[in-house]
Amino acid sequence: MKKENIKKNFGKIRLLITIIIIAGVIIHLFLVYDAAKSIEVVDKKIVGLYPVYPKIDEYEVKFMLTLKNPKSTTIEVDYISYKIYIENEFLGEGEKPRFFIKHGTENHTFLFSFNIMDLTSSTREILINGNANVTVKGEIIIPAKFLGLFTWKYIKIPYTISDKVEIFGM
């Protein structure tokens, strides 16, 4: 009789441990997903458009994103991608790869260089006259990782910055 009771109790304990492990995994997945989903872009702006001296045909676009992590968990960002347009003409694209966002607010500055000779003549003329409409479109890609080992979902946060920018240094 005692052996049967021990076997019954052992089976119940094993079932209870399995349920606790599964619940822990589900709770962990939810917490990681919730923390990654809570990242937000609180400020975005085009800082400036500058000629690069001494090269007269090289320019740089500088823009900034301010990201806020309201959770106490440090979040890994896979990358921030961006595409740059001047007067709706595509200039190019880039990305900032893998970094971490701690609790709080962090500024991230980006610099994109381009050659004015690659632009159409109408866009080049607008740029040379001292101001231009600049648009930056991109995504912040955050992997939701299980125990930091494998990614089970990606969270994408799109952003767009558009502004008429005066050319500095003209």
| 2-166 fold | Immunoglobulin-like (2.60.40)
- CA pair distance 150, 29, nearest whole angstrom: 11
For 121-167, the pLDDT digits (tens) are 888 888 888 788 999 999 999 887 766 667 777 889 999 999 998 87
Q: Which residue has the tokens 């021990």?
A: 6
Confidence of residue 8 (pLDDT cuts 50, 70, 90): confident
User: Which residues share a beta bridge with 96?
Assistant: 80
Instruction: Domain ranges for the chain, please list them.
Output: 2-166
- CA pair distance 100, 74, nearest whole angstrom: 7
Tell me the whole-structure pTM to 2 decimals: 0.79
- Residue of 134, 44, 57 whose CA lies nearest to 90: 134
